[in-house]
Structure 1
Amino acid sequence: MSKGKQGVPASGVQGAKEAENELPPTYQEAVEGYEEMQVQFSLDDKAVRRIFIRKVYAILLIQLLVTVAIVSLFTFCGPVRFYIQTHPGLYMGSYLTFFATYIALTCCGDLRRRYPMNLVLLCIFTLSMASMMGFMSSFYNTKSVVLCLGITAIVCLSVTLFSFHSKFDFTSCQGVMLALCVVMLLCAITLSIVVPFGYVPWLHAVYAVIGAILFTLFLAFDTQLLLGNKRYAISPEEYVFATLNLYLDIVYLFSFLLQCVGGGRE
């Protein structure tokens, strides 16, 4: 029988080489390139998140421009203001449309992720909400409406910048916001009971102040959900839902500020 080097049979040398090739890889070989892959995945995730944020704020900007245009029309145009104030059924129609589209967008996950139906529903939702805000603004004087629009813009810009750069995690403060929601609900119930017997200005002012504070916190909360660098984050697929949340925060903040500092028309 032929032998290999050092008296080892050739078949034995070949078998040893095959066994050596079949050994599992070492730890260093197994994790080789893992860090590079992890960095690449992290960069890809950040790129997707940036695109998601740009998309959300682009849609939100269009919503806010439409809302400001409708509020301005209902506030500054006398014939339009008179018409909507004498036809309250338009407000009820807007409210029912708002409620139906809100339920569809929040409760039907497949529907709000299905293009273009999600954007169509979002447009209807925006128009109905803007009409409701325009109807409410028509009962306040123009100076109050302009002042509240300016305050809302400043507050939203400040809260957004703070949420982008702050290390404080608003997404972990659900307990505080839940407590404020309960207080606000109790104030609303008290108002509904007291108002038939007489209007109480200070109680309504407390309700409006709590509402403004609450939706300022919700704006910071939803902004950090959008960023995705805190305890909780929203999926990049949910750009319609994220836009809906931010838009409602801003609109409700404006409505409560209007109730706080707004003056009625003479």
Structure 2
Amino acid sequence: LCIIEASVSFKWFNVPTRESIRKHPAFFVPCFVLFATILTVSLCCESLLRRFPKIAISIFMVIVSLMLTSVSAYTDSYIIKLALAMCMGCTLFIIAFSLQTKVDISSRIGYLFITLTCSLMFGITFLISTSMILIPVPIMILCYFLALLFMLYLFLGFQSLMKKRKQEVAPDEYVFAALQIFLE
């Protein structure tokens, strides 16, 4: 998420790059086609992902960065940046919670924790963004609901991957598991 955030931020701070992407819509179409192709191949060819997981996650991360950069060139990137910042903060909180406690994140406590984490990140980003950047409140609320939806979807993907702690990921499969969660 940090690399994707940096990619969107580069376009946000570099006005000539943003204008170049806007003037040449041919940049968006190949990015979207490449994203759809890589996503389809990764979902259909699981054996390929298992053989080269680090390369696959790197390629997918670059493709997602390019696609989000091209999409955010046509829109106001505040929404994308705020939603990414909230999701990045929530992901870090969930990782810290999972590493520090013995509470199963895939229980009802997980739903409560994700909702509270998204609310906390919403409050932090709301205070920072309204004091520094004038962003309308409906856009902030939209970012909150998008981040909450993303985190719940990520939670359900994590829960289906671990199958409620009945299955553990082998040490050599951590990169593949991370790729599966990133794809979701």
Q: TM-score range by the shorter chain?
A: 0.5 to 0.7
Return closer, same or farther for 1:239/1:102 CA change in 2, 3 Å cut-off. Answer: farther
Distance 2:39 2:170 in 1: 19
Gaps of 5+ in 1: 1-63, 177-201, 250-266
**1:90 to 2:22 alignment:** no
Q: Does the CA contact (< 8 Å) of 1:71 and 1:134 recur in 2?
A: yes
Among 13, 21, 24, the residue aligned to 1:76: 13
- Shift in alpha-carbon separation, 1:210–1:145, aligned structure 2, 3 A: closer
The separation in 2 between residues aligned to 1:236 and 1:208, in whole angstroms, is 35
Per-residue deviation, 1:75: 1.4
Identical counterparts, % of pairs: 27
Q: Root-mean-square deviation (CA), in Å?
A: 3.6
C-alpha displacement of 1:153: 2.6
Give TM-score scaled by structure 1 length: 0.46
| 1:219–1:246 contact (8 Å) kept in structure 2 | yes
Q: Does 1:220 align with 2:155?
A: yes
Give CA deviations for 1:60-104 in whole Å, capped at 9, x if unaligned. Answer: xxxx34322321221111111011122222122111111211222
CA distance in 2 between counterparts of 1:159 and 1:240 reads 18
> Structure 2 unaligned runs (5+)?
112-137
Residues 238, 97 of structure 1: CA spacing in aligned structure 2 closer, same or farther, 3 A cutoff? farther
- The question of whether the paired residues in 2 share the 8 Å contact of 1:222 and 1:242 is answered with no
Asked if the contact 1:159/1:216 (under 8 Å) is kept, the reply is no
Distance 1:162 1:242, change over 3 A: same
In the alignment, is residue 122 of structure 1 matched against residue 63 of structure 2?
Answer: no
The aligned length equals 154
Matched with 2:117 is none
SS of residue in 2 equivalent to 1:167: coil
* Bigger radius of gyration among the two: 1
- Does the C-alpha gap of structure 1 residues 123 and 169 become closer, same or farther in structure 2, counting only changes over 3 Å? closer
Equivalent residue number for residue 132 of structure 1: 67
Q: Is the 8 A contact 2:86 2:147 kept in 1?
A: no
1:227-238 equivalences in 2 (<5 Å): 230-238=165-173
* 2:76 counterpart letter in structure 1: Y
Alignment of 1:174-213 (within 5 A): 211-213=146-148
Change (3 A) 1:228 1:146: same
Other-structure match for 2:43: 106
- TM-score where L is the length of structure 2: 0.63
Going by fraction, where is helix more abundant, 1 or 2? 2
How far residue 248 of structure 1 moved from its aligned partner, in angstroms, is 4.3
Match of 1:244 in 2: 179
1:126-180 superposed Cα distances (whole Å, 9 cap, x missing partner):
11111111123332155x555444323321122222334252452x78xx9xxxx
